[in-house]
Chains A and B, each alone.
Chain A
């Protein structure tokens, strides 16, 4: 069978690229190894409870009248409506360091006011910096790498303020330990602070279902449980793929959301393989506590808390299994209009060491996950003292779970530290979309699929 385009991964970027191409009458096939859609951001059912794998927050929440906001553009490009995603705004979120906290919401004035109050000496610099960020063209695909940390040090003089701003931004989108690309920082700053957080009451399934439905409606084909075992190349051109079953398919273009290192590995020895440092190493564990009541009823009303309990904030894979000193607490019930959620949910994410997790034997792995569930209860207890009495069950995932279900080496949630913003690979008609193209998160991944499909197929007549 021959296709105009084969897409690897029924992921956010894969589905978005697929919708674009199929809508404009291309013959498109999505191949997904797993039985579920959504990749890093999927959903599952366990013990009668519905869980989201990823979704803490859909970033880039914006006013419907803001037509130039990324979310509005993305909906237009996919011919979807705001109702299709059904996003409801957060209440407020918080960045919490020892002895100090900054609250923010979908109204940027709150953060500005908090910074002015807690960091009066930096208030002017912060305001000017934000004005410049608003004007910064972060969608320019050719911007060279610049250290975000260094730029922040040049622009804002208070080291604590810098760390507090970096904390949520790194947690929601840095593939690089300790630092990140400034352009990426700007994209994330806009999407977290200048825009904001939203969530569909139904969870991530609402978004995935909307994408899959649209993709099918415009004539796209999709094969689940169909892993790509090999990308067949011939000199510097891609010819097609061989599936795990041995079946071969040919295509004019491939868009892969499997990750850059992972995709090149599928091309085999004939293709130049990236050096080991291009494999991402930042991963997380997440523990989820299900309660029989809403966190709000017990006095916890923040939507998301980015916390750091140590003197300095360190964003890097730890030596031990999990670094408990910083992390993210997410309470989906604390979005607006989320009363219909049947249970209270309290999720905590920490940095994890992929190599430490990968070395564990099956029994040591079981013990380690049990320990993480202890940690989530301790954290729950510190946020909601009576919370543990209302516990229904817990669940968790580790870098190993992420690698098993998405194929991302090391369970690296944000992929390779080296991004390929134009989506190109050394193989002519093989392109990267999603995480390793460089637009991160749910909205980022969808924009990535759109951008790469537009750039490499649709705008070429």
Chain B
């Protein structure tokens, strides 16, 4: 899965976890917590949705890797790549 698609998947998950968040203008390098008023419960849910939808595991010590969209892509792209055959 390309970086663009990973970004799309993350935004889709955020829209499920926090449907009341305004996602029209998310900056990729700013902490999601700051621009979308997301709390630790919301982050737990991003992790849980990744597991539910894609069987991707994010261990607790890596939660910080989900801080911004850029860091999400960097951290998750290899995990998504490992999922798709070839």
**Are the CB atoms of B18 and A67 closer together than 8 Å?**
yes
A73 to B41 alpha-carbon distance, docked (Å): 8
> Is residue A213 within 8 Å, beta carbon to beta carbon, of the partner chain?
no
A209 to B20 alpha-carbon distance, docked (Å): 22
Q: Which of A24, A73, A450 contacts B48 (CB 8 A)?
A: A24
> Is residue A454 within 8 Å, beta carbon to beta carbon, of the partner chain?
yes
What are 29 inter-chain pairs, A to B, with CB distance below 8 A? A23-B52, A24-B48, A24-B51, A24-B52, A25-B52, A64-B20, A67-B18, A67-B20, A67-B21, A67-B37, A68-B39, A72-B20, A73-B41, A76-B17, A76-B18, A76-B41, A76-B42, A77-B41, A77-B45, A79-B16, A81-B19, A450-B41, A454-B41, A454-B44, A458-B44, A458-B48, A459-B44, A459-B60, A461-B60
A142 to B3 alpha-carbon distance, docked (Å): 41
**Knowing that A24-B51, A67-B37, A81-B19 are A-B contacts, what are 5 other residue pairs whose CB atoms are under 8 Å apart, sorted by A's residue number?**
A72-B20, A76-B19, A76-B42, A76-B45, A461-B57
Select the residue from B16, B19, B59 with max chain A CB neighbours within 10 A. Answer: B19
Q: Which of A23, A73, A450, A461 contacts B39 (CB 8 A)?
A: A73
**Are the CB atoms of B18 and A461 closer together than 8 Å?**
no
Interface size bucket, B side? 10 to 19
A81 to B19 alpha-carbon distance, docked (Å): 9
Residues of B at under 8 Å CB distance from A?
A: 16-21, 37, 39, 41-42, 44-45, 48, 51-52, 57, 59-60
A70 to B57 alpha-carbon distance, docked (Å): 28
A116 to B18 alpha-carbon distance, docked (Å): 39
Minimum CB distance partner of A77 in chain B: B41
Across-interface contacts of B16 in A (CB, < 8 A): 79
Interface readout for A45-85 with B: 1 if CB under 8 Å, 0 if not?
A: 00000000000000000001001100011001101010000
Nearest-Cβ distance from residue A397 to partner chain B, whole angstroms: 35
